[in-house]
Amino acid sequence: MPEPADHEPYAGERLVTASADDVERAAEAALRPKKLEEFVGQRTVRDQLSLVLQAALAREASPDHVLLSGPPGLGKTTLAMIIAAELGTSLRVTSGPAIQHAGDLAAVLSSLEEGEVLFIDEIHRLARPAEELLYVAMEDFRVDVVVGKGAGASAIPLALPPFTVVGATTRSGLLPAPLRDRFGFTGHLDFYDPEELERVIVRSAGLLGVQIHHAAAHEIAGRSRGTPRIANRLLRRVRDWAQVRGDGVLDLRAARAALEVYEVDPIGLDRLDRAVLDALCRRFGGGPVGLSTLAMTVGEEPDTVETVAEPYLVREGLVARTPRGRVATPAAWEHLGLEPPQGAWAAGLPSSGTLFDAAGGTG
Ligand X SMILES: Nc1ncnc2c1ncn2[C@@H]1O[C@H](COP(=O)(O)OP(=O)(O)OP(=O)(O)O)[C@@H](O)[C@H]1O
Residue 204 interacts with Mg ion (CB under 5 A): yes or no = no
Closest CA to 220 of 248, 262, 255, 196: 255
271: left (phi over 0), alpha (psi -120 to 50) or beta: alpha
Between 63 and 75, name the residue whose CB sits nearer to Mg ion: 75
Binding mask 73-102 for Mg ion (x = CB under 5 A): ---xx-------------------------
Choosing among ligand X, Mg ion, none, which partner's interface includes residue 228 (Cβ < 5 to 8 Å by kind)? Answer: ligand X
Kindly report the backbone phi and psi dihedral angles of residue 243, in degrees, each rounded to the nearest multiple of 5, phi listed first.
-75, -35
Between 52 and 295, name the residue whose CB sits nearer to ligand X: 52
What is the smallest separation between the CB atom of 241 and ligand X, expressed in angstroms? 20
Residue 297 interacts with ligand X (CB under 6 A): yes or no = no
CB atoms within 10 A of CB 15: 16
* Catalytically annotated residue among 170, 297, 304, 329: 170
Q: H/E element holding 222?
A: helix 214-222
Task: State how far the Cα of 137 lies from the Cα of 140, in Å rounded to an integer.
Answer: 6
Between 77 and 186, name the residue whose CB sits nearer to ligand X: 77
What is the smallest separation between the CB atom of 18 and Mg ion, expressed in angstroms? 11
Q: How far is CA 102 from CA 99, 119, 122, 316, in A?
A: 7, 16, 16, 41
Binding mask 12-51 for ligand X (x = CB under 6 A): -------xx-------x--xxx-----xxxx---------
Between 76 and 335, name the residue whose CB sits nearer to ligand X: 76
- Please give the biggest Cα pair distance in the chain: 77
Task: State how far the Cα of 73 lies from the Cα of 190, in Å rounded to an integer.
Answer: 10
Task: State how far the Cα of 131 lies from the Cα of 96, in Å rounded to an integer.
Answer: 9
Choosing among ligand X, Mg ion, none, which partner's interface includes residue 232 (Cβ < 5 to 8 Å by kind)? Answer: ligand X
* Catalytically annotated residue among 77, 94, 297, 304: 77
Residue 78 interacts with ligand X (CB under 6 A): yes or no = yes
| Partner residues linked to 289 by β-bridges | 326
The yes-or-no answer on residue 225 being catalytic is no
Among 17, 170, 186, 304, binds ligand X (CB under 6 A): 170
What is the smallest separation between the CB atom of 263 and Mg ion, expressed in angstroms? 27
Between 41 and 340, name the residue whose CB sits nearer to ligand X: 41
Residues that bind ligand X (rule: CB under 6 A) add up to a total of 22
The yes-or-no answer on residue 77 being catalytic is yes
Whether 76 has a binding-site annotation, put simply, is yes
Among 164, 186, 232, 304, binds ligand X (CB under 6 A): 232
Task: State how far the Cα of 31 lies from the Cα of 173, in Å rounded to an integer.
Answer: 30
Kindly report the backbone phi and psi dihedral angles of residue 21, in degrees, each rounded to the nearest multiple of 5, phi listed first.
-95, 180
Task: State how far the Cα of 257 lies from the Cα of 237, in Å rounded to an integer.
Answer: 10
Between 16 and 349, name the residue whose CB sits nearer to ligand X: 16
Which residue type is seen at 334? E
Residue 169 interacts with Mg ion (CB under 5 A): yes or no = no
Site for ligand X in 193-212 (CB under 6 A): 200
Torsion of CA 95, 101, 107, 112, to 10 degrees: 30
For 206-237, b/e burial (b = at least 16 CB within 10 A) is eebebebbeebbbbbbbbbbbbbbbbbbbbbb
Task: State how far the Cα of 68 lies from the Cα of 120, in Å rounded to an integer.
Answer: 10
Residue 228 interacts with ligand X (CB under 6 A): yes or no = yes
Task: State how far the Cα of 98 lies from the Cα of 95, in Å rounded to an integer.
Answer: 5
Choosing among Mg ion, ligand X, none, which partner's interface includes residue 28 (Cβ < 5 to 8 Å by kind)? Answer: ligand X
Q: Residue positions in the annotated binding site?
A: 31-32, 73, 76-78, 139-141, 182, 192, 229, 321, 326
Residues making up the binding site for Mg(2+): 77
Q: Give residues in contact with Mg ion (CB under 5 A).
A: 76-77
**Residue numbers annotated as active site:** 76-77, 121, 170, 229
Known binding positions for ATP: 31-32, 73, 76-78, 139-141, 182, 192, 229
**What residues make contact with ligand X under the rule CB under 6 A?**
19-20, 28, 31-33, 39-42, 72-78, 170, 200, 228-229, 232
